[in-house]
Structure 1
Amino acid sequence: MTTNVISLVSIGAHPTSGRPRRAEQDARAVELGLQMAGDKLQVLHAGDIAEPALRSYLGMGLPQLHVLEQPAGSDALPVLSEYLRDAGAQVVLAGSQAETGEGSGMLPFLLAEQLGWPLIVGLAQVESIDGGVAHVLQALPRGQRRRLKVRLPFLATVDNAAPKPRQSAYGPAQRGELAAHDVEVEQDALFTGAVLQPAKPRPKRLKVIKAKSGADRMKAATAKASGGGGQVLKGLSPEAGAEAILKLLVEEGVVR
């Protein structure tokens, strides 16, 4: 019996230019789905069917991509959960975080909660599916893997530990079909009422002290700086001293 596998995809953005593209982690979810189900794989997107970047997923060899049409600012959670229930999905694959939009990484968790399914984070490989039970490998830090057993249906997020996606070919991308589905549009009140602003750069990291023993680390941490750019402050009021310290921290990039 063939397992019903569905991969969820979104619109990505190039990290330098910001141009729309296929999302890297979502493309890995499609690649893993193709390895599991072949041409039986369903690929699903909630958004604008006219987005050209969707065809880059079709270029991976997909005959069809299903699109739940909804405008920007709509809540994708209810329409996705309804579609997955009606489609009888058994395995749902998704990237761990979107490259555009809110990008909170919460959608897989909220979707699994609404469906009542188990969620696997960091899926690296599906080894086998037998008797309604899947044996999978979960990616852990430092290249480690954990073998898990989970009962169908389940939802899993993939990251860079999953198989690298194949290249997108122009011919299949143009021949593939974008199948539109009319759905009830619900506004995402939390997102539409939020104010977006550029993220602030992180403070400069402190220098990592490499030493073999605790005594060496203590010596390195308490040793006086050898540079000659220091300044000794004497006879200043607390306010003037605080202002001088703040100025130094700003110059060093610790405080912005």
Structure 2
Amino acid sequence: MNAPRQVKRIAVLVSIGRHPVSGAPRYSRNDAAALELGRDLAGKHGARLAVLHAGDAADPALADYLALGAGEVEVLACAEGTDAARVLAARVEDCDLVLTGTRAEGAYDTGMLPYRLAAVLGRPLLGAAVDLDIEGGRVAVRQFLPKGLRRRVDAALPAVVSVHPLANVQPRYAYARLREGAIRTAPAPHVHDDAAQNDAAAWTLGAVERKPVRLAAAEKRSGHARMLSATTTESRGGNVVNGGTSVEKAQVILAYLREHQLIDY
């Protein structure tokens, strides 16, 4: 009888996120949750933790992961058009567990990386994990389901797990850890995929012109009241703010937008 597989190496894949309001580059909230789960498992099982990123080592947003607890971020330098899934798969072949976020937060992210990575490695994928544990050579995951439901599934190691943004962790940012950590560039493993190169050559990228969307409060009056307003002149309500600071005026506008559910933050 074979002994249960022990967890010796854990890899966490991180990406560059975007602030939902300003669009400024920052750490990805999904990957931050995966990093926190990976740190907890590595400490519990005495495993070696590797934090990996495929892209540009000069991106300042990578330093955020150092502050979140990554002692070192290893960046695999990839050229434009390189299949990141195959590059990462070649790097994590010897890892017992690979953790990722459900998807990155950029403009062109599809959420397919965990699936493609698991397919290239030939390993099971457990998605939307809110917590996980390892016991007896298997990884057990509690999955997030719609309407507040949860489901427990498990798979034999080695495996790939994508972490849901509502995972039961609380990443903590510490500037001292940012100063102590390091970002190291490593050459990307050479992979040759003619099909991927042909697919990349078939795409054409261009600027997207997005037309502004006019915000309008939902009409809550009855049909009879709306018909009367078409024939009579009446006040539609609202507030006219002439005094106060710019901050106070902005707060009035935000209160109106939230009241009519035109924004969700």
Band of TM-score, shorter chain: 0.7 to 0.9
How far did residue 75 of structure 1 move?
2.4
- Give me the whole-angstrom Cα distance separating, in 2, the residues matched to 1:48 and 1:9: 12
| Alignment of structure 1 residues 165-180 onto 2, 5 Å | 165-180=170-185
Give ranges in structure 2 of 5+ residues lacking alignment: 1-5, 232-265
Letter in 2 for 1:13: R
SS in 2 for 1:32: helix
User: What is the aligned partner in structure 1 of residue 29 from structure 2?
Assistant: 24
- Give me the whole-angstrom Cα distance separating, in 2, the residues matched to 1:192 and 1:169: 41
Please report the TM-score for the alignment, with normalisation by the length of structure 2.
0.70
- Give me the whole-angstrom Cα distance separating, in 1, the residues matched to 2:212 and 2:125: 32
Please report the TM-score for the alignment, with normalisation by the length of structure 1.
0.73
User: What is the aligned partner in structure 2 of residue 108 from structure 1?
Assistant: 114
| Alignment of structure 1 residues 115-194 onto 2, 5 Å | 115-126=121-132, 128-183=133-188, 184=190, 189=200, 193-194=204-205
User: What is the aligned partner in structure 2 of residue 227 from structure 1?
Assistant: 226
SS in 2 for 1:157: strand
Letter in 1 for 2:61: A
Given that residues 7 and 96 in structure 2 are in contact (C-alpha distance below 8 angstroms), is that contact kept between their aligned partners in structure 1? Answer: no
> Percent of pairs identical after alignment?
37
User: What is the aligned partner in structure 2 of residue 244 from structure 1?
Assistant: none
User: What is the aligned partner in structure 1 of residue 53 from structure 2?
Assistant: 45
Given that residues 30 and 165 in structure 1 are in contact (C-alpha distance below 8 angstroms), is that contact kept between their aligned partners in structure 2? Answer: no
Deviations for 1:55-86, whole angstroms, at most 9, x for unmatched residues?
1101122221111012444321221111111x
Q: Given the superposition, is the C-alpha separation of residues 3 and 202 from structure 1 closer, same or farther in structure 2, using an over 3 Å criterion?
A: farther
Which of 39, 61, 69 lines up with 2:77 in the alignment? Answer: 69
- Give me the whole-angstrom Cα distance separating, in 1, the residues matched to 2:202 and 2:29: 24
Deviations for 1:139-189, whole angstroms, at most 9, x for unmatched residues?
111222111121111112112221344222222112212121112487671
User: What is the aligned partner in structure 1 of residue 3 from structure 2?
Assistant: none
Q: CA RMSD in A?
A: 3.1
SS in 2 for 1:80: helix
Number of matched residues?
A: 215
- Give me the whole-angstrom Cα distance separating, in 1, the residues matched to 2:147 and 2:54: 34
- Give me the whole-angstrom Cα distance separating, in 1, the residues matched to 2:202 and 2:20: 23
Q: Given the superposition, is the C-alpha separation of residues 201 and 150 from structure 1 closer, same or farther in structure 2, using an over 3 Å criterion?
A: farther
1:95 aligns with 2:101: yes
Given that residues 51 and 72 in structure 2 are in contact (C-alpha distance below 8 angstroms), is that contact kept between their aligned partners in structure 1? Answer: yes
How far did residue 2 of structure 1 move?
3.5
1:78 aligns with 2:86: yes
- Give me the whole-angstrom Cα distance separating, in 2, the residues matched to 1:191 and 1:137: 40
Given that residues 55 and 173 in structure 1 are in contact (C-alpha distance below 8 angstroms), is that contact kept between their aligned partners in structure 2? Answer: yes
Deviations for 1:204-225, whole angstroms, at most 9, x for unmatched residues?
9xx8xxxxxxxxxxxxxxx966
User: What is the aligned partner in structure 2 of residue 15 from structure 1?
Assistant: 20
